[in-house]
Amino acid sequence: MIATLEGRLRRRLEDRVILECGGIGYEVFLPPIALRQIEHVTAGPGEKGSELELVVYYHATRDQPRPVLIGFTSDLDKEFFEKLITVKDIGPMVAARALAMPVAELAEAIARQDEKFLRGLPGIGPQKAKNIVAQLQSKVAKFALARTGAAAEPIDTAPAPVDADGLRELVPSVMSPEELFDEIYRGEKK
pLDDT tens profile 38-85: 998 888 887 788 999 999 999 887 777 788 999 999 999 999 999 999
End-to-end C-alpha distance for the chain, whole angstroms: 52
Q: How many residues does the chain have?
A: 190
What's the pLDDT at 142?
Answer: 86
* Cβ-based neighbours of 121, under 8 Å, separated by 6 or more: 98, 100, 101, 106
**pTM exceeds cut of 0.85:** no
Average pLDDT for residues 33-38, to the nearest whole number?
94
How do residues 136-148 score in pLDDT, each as one tens digit? Answer: 998 998 888 876 4
